[in-house]
Amino acid sequence: MTRFVAHQVIVFVALLLVAIQLVTLLALNWAVSENARESVRKEVDVGRRIFVRVMEDRTQQLTTAASVLTSDFGLRQAMMSGDQATIVSALSNHGARIGAAKMMLIGLDRRVLGETAAQDGRDDPLRFPFPRLIEDAERKGAASAIALIGDAPFQLVVVPVLAPVPVAWAMVAFSVDKQFAQDLGLLTGLDVSFATWVPRRGWDIAATTLSPSGTRTLLGALGSPTETAMPAIMPDLLGAEFQLATSVLGREDDGAVVAILQRSLRDAIARFDGLRVILLALAAFSLCATVAGSLLIARSISRPVSALAEFARRMERGEYDQGPPETRSDELGELAASFNRMRLAIAARELQIKSMALQDALTGLPNRALFNERLQQALGLARRLTQPVSVLLIDLNRFKEVNDTLGHHVGDRLLCVVAERLRTVLVRASDTPARLGGDEFAVLLPASSATMAEAAARRILQAFAAPVLVEGRQLDVGGSIGIATFPEHGDDPNVLMSRADAAMYMAKRTRTGCAIYDVNFEAEAENHNRLSLTGELRQAIEENQLVLHYQPRLDLASGAITGVEALVRWQHPVRGFIPPDQFVPFAEQTGCIREITQWVAARAFAQCAQWHASGRALQVSINLSARDLLDPELPQRCAALLAGHGASPQWFLLEITERAIVDDPARAIETVTRLHEMGFRLSIDDFGTGYSSLAQLKRLPVAELKIDKNFVMDMARDADDMTIVRSVIDLAHNMGLSVVAEGVETDEARRLLYDMGCDHLQGYQICSPLPAAQLEQWLARTAALHGTTAKEA
């Protein structure tokens, strides 16, 4: 062990030496690079100032030369002649004297009177393409700019033609070419490039002092954008290779000219190459010496470590049959022994996990995952061989009673006996019995028709007929079996299982023991689900599976949230969230709606009292059904809730539908009148969808009408809905009632309702229904944003 530790120290020292050398080399290299960068940065800055001064001097010289020429009598005489050939000849002669590439004579109306080297392709050949340049000349007496003519850059000078007042304008264009770039490069000591940019064509280099490879590098850095607007030129365009400065010399809608001054960092750093070579040679020598020593020291341990690494890779691939190689009796030997113990433990655990993943822990049968996998494989083979495949879905009878009365341990023992009897009945090796969960079993029968599957089901039922003795108790085992066959009843695993389930339900309902799927079973299953849902609803009320959400309503006059509507939701422990439109109709049909209303009222009264006690004066709306209005005890129950929670009836708004009044108008009006006399405010919900008459509406002591959301949601697109909404609002206001519009989901609907004089809004545009805690948070955020608070209506 001491020798091994000594080897580690040697390796550590060697690595430390290498690290110090590398850090030293990097520090020196960084210092050299930064010094060179700073030097180049200063050179570029000086060159940029020289470039600016040279461009200013050149502009002044060109302007002076152009002004002298335009004062020439011959040019004015040619202009006065009106002969374009004479004008062009005069322009050409004067342009040749000063080396101008192009000359143009422009009238005071911005029309071109004559030009040398006329350019084809202009939108309007007679219109001067640079009107802003003349505008500058009018203000300053002369103007200069760099612009593109035919995708090539030129320095343009515009001066007036005086006689003695300006009678025309002369434009002189000087090429921005390679010679110009070289002259600037000699003055600045930098590489000078003139880049042009044209929409949808991108960048090009018009003139440069760079070599062809340098030009390609610059173009690659600029890229080839095709946007209609020129992209920004970044100062670090070429990264670590160059230090540069850019200047936009001219920019128009149809292109731009940019001057790029650059200095190669590589050239600046090159004078330090000798020092770099010496440092690198010293570092390389030290590194080689260190590596050689380290290799000699590490060789004695590298081979066994490599062998252990190979063993680890074999374990990664899942090969656990061969252990690690034998090694010497030191730390590596202890590591190899630990690896071997880890191999044995991992192999045992993987075997156990595989068994648990594919087998039912209680019965030892394949579980749902393995059954589905084998069903998928069996269907694939059956498609190729055109053979049938049948599945049996088995549900034990009275198993829940065994669990509830005798305990789960007895139920577990019963399940084990059932599994054993399934194994005994299924003699073919290809048949797969499985436990899907609880007391639900399944059997896969490859190459079996529906008739063969029915015969197997009868054998299973016969095997179940014998009583089971558990802890001295004799239990009768029975079951219901549903059969579905591929391809007759479906060609998808999920479809087959679903239809086997429908057949199993029919077998249980008719007490026939087993049944083969028939299309008529679907309707029976749907009726069963509806009856089951109704029964579970009563249990939901008892077990508090229902929850209340509250949707705010907005007062358009004050902009405040003045009330909320209590909306019931059902969170089923198995089915999950069940929308109200799926269980409320069943509750109304079966009379269970009364219990739901009592539950909602109790929770809403308590919550409203809590809000008022905390200073949040919200009015809570509660929906009443037709059955509620026919209940003569409803007012007494409401009075008891008020007394129990110390609440005031003015805090609540009871919403009734037109249909609730139609069923039994006399009793409904009597109940509504008693509630009104107690102090409750009343509202007609979903107004416009029922059948009540105006005479009946006049008899009701209601305070508001609530427009049905079906009219509100589509009124922006449907003129009839718009008319209905406006008519209801006018009718309600004429009767002294307020109006609430529900189903407001867009800003447009909100604006239209505001213009029509609607009093209150409710819908997802305002806020979706929320639990009480989340509603309070929403109200706090809304008050903070808009400076409003919820107040009593």
Bigger pLDDT: 280 vs 663: 280
Tell me what pLDDT residue 299 has.
63
pLDDT tens column, 321-360: 666 666 565 666 666 667 667 767 776 666 666 666 678 8
Q: Is 453 exposed, middle or buried (0-12, 13-18, 19+ CB in 10 A)?
A: buried
* Cβ atoms of residues 191 and 183 within 8 Å: no
Tell me what pLDDT residue 651 has.
95
Question: In the predicted model, is pLDDT for residue 2 greater than 50?
Answer: no
Bigger pLDDT: 175 vs 338: 175
Bigger pLDDT: 73 vs 238: 73
What is the rounded average pLDDT of the residues 699-706?
88
Q: Which structural domains are found in the chain, ordered by start?
A: 47-267 (3.30.450.20), 359-519 (3.30.70.270), 534-786 (3.20.20.450)
pLDDT tens column, 704-763: 999 888 889 888 888 888 999 999 999 999 989 999 999 999 999 999 999 999 999 999
- Round to whole Å and give the CA distance between 707 and 686: 5
Residues of 698-729 as b/e, b for ≥16 C-beta within 10 angstroms?
eebebbbbbbbbebbbebeeeeebbebbbebb
What is the helix, strand, coil percentage profile of the chain, to 5? 55, 20, 25
* Cβ atoms of residues 336 and 325 within 8 Å: yes
Cα dihedral value 649, 655, 661, 666, nearest 10: 0
Tell me what pLDDT residue 63 has.
81
Helix (H, G, I), strand (E, B) or coil at 591: coil
For residue 118, CA distances in Å to 103, 129, 147, 682, 748 come to 9, 12, 16, 86, 58
Bigger pLDDT: 545 vs 86: 545
- Round to whole Å and give the CA distance between 67 and 48: 29
Helix (H, G, I), strand (E, B) or coil at 154: strand
CB atoms within 10 A of CB 183: 14
- Name which of 65-74, 539-548, 705-714, 764-773 the model is least confident about: 65-74
pLDDT tens column, 671-695: 889 999 999 999 988 776 654 556 6
| Helices of type H across 426-490 | 450-464
pLDDT tens column, 102-129: 888 888 888 888 888 766 556 566 788 8
DSSP bridge pairs for 706: 740
Question: In the predicted model, is pLDDT for residue 233 greater than 90?
Answer: no
Question: In the predicted model, is pLDDT for residue 528 greater than 80?
Answer: no
DSSP for 553-588 reads EEETTTTEEEEEEEEEEEEETTTEEE-HHHHHHHHH
Tell me what pLDDT residue 460 has.
93
Question: In the predicted model, is pLDDT for residue 73 greater than 90?
Answer: no
Average pLDDT, the chain: 80
Residues of 409-447 as b/e, b for ≥16 C-beta within 10 angstroms?
ebbebbbbbbbebbeebbeeeebbbbbbeebbbbbbbbb
Per-residue HEC secondary structure of 40-58 comes to HHHHHHHHHHHHHHHHHHH
- Report residue 562's pLDDT band, with 50, 70 and 90 as the boundaries: very high
For residue 156, CA distances in Å to 149, 171, 198, 222, 365 come to 10, 7, 18, 25, 92
pLDDT tens column, 465-487: 888 888 778 888 789 999 999 99
Bigger pLDDT: 379 vs 282: 379
Question: In the predicted model, is pLDDT for residue 443 greater than 70?
Answer: yes
473: part of which helix (H) or strand (E)?
Answer: strand 473-475
How many Cα atoms within 13 Å fall on the side-chain side of residue 610? 9
Kindly report the CA angle at 328 between 326 and 331, in degrees rounded to 5?
110
Most confident range, picked from 132-141, 549-558, 784-793: 549-558
- Name which of 148-152, 290-294, 360-364, 413-417 the model is least confident about: 290-294
594: part of which helix (H) or strand (E)?
Answer: helix 593-613
Tell me what pLDDT residue 637 has.
92
Question: In the predicted model, is pLDDT for residue 594 greater than 90?
Answer: no
Tell me what pLDDT residue 330 has.
64
Quick one: DSSP state of residue 492? S
What is the rounded average pLDDT of the residues 655-660?
78
Question: In the predicted model, is pLDDT for residue 537 greater than 70?
Answer: yes
Strand-by-strand arrangement of the 102-107 sheet: 112-115, 102-107, 166-175, 152-162, 143-149
φ, ψ at 248 (rounded to 5°): -80, 110
Nearest to 43 by CA among 245, 307, 285: 245
Helix (H, G, I), strand (E, B) or coil at 282: helix
Question: In the predicted model, is pLDDT for residue 1 greater than 50?
Answer: no
Tell me what pLDDT residue 119 has.
61
DSSP bridge pairs for 468: 475
DSSP bridge pairs for 203: 197
Nearest to 59 by CA among 133, 152, 110, 151: 133
pLDDT tens column, 253-284: 677 888 887 777 776 666 666 777 777 777 77
Tell me what pLDDT residue 308 has.
67
Tell me what pLDDT residue 432 has.
92
pLDDT above 90 as % of the chain:
27
Non-local CB neighbours of 232 within 8 Å, separated by 6+ positions? none
Tell me what pLDDT residue 356 has.
64
Determine the angle formed by the axes of helices 634-645 and 665-678, rounding to 10 degrees: 20
What is the rounded average pLDDT of the residues 574-599?
79
Tell me what pLDDT residue 555 has.
93
Bigger pLDDT: 205 vs 751: 751
* Cβ atoms of residues 493 and 372 within 8 Å: yes
What is the rounded average pLDDT of the residues 150-177?
83
What is the rounded average pLDDT of the residues 562-587?
83
Question: In the predicted model, is pLDDT for residue 239 greater than 60?
Answer: no
Bridging pattern class, strands 576-578 and 619-624: unpaired
DSSP bridge pairs for 146: 155
Tell me what pLDDT residue 665 has.
76
204: part of which helix (H) or strand (E)?
Answer: strand 202-208
Question: In the predicted model, is pLDDT for residue 558 greater than 60?
Answer: yes
Q: Greatest CA span in the chain, whole angstroms?
A: 136
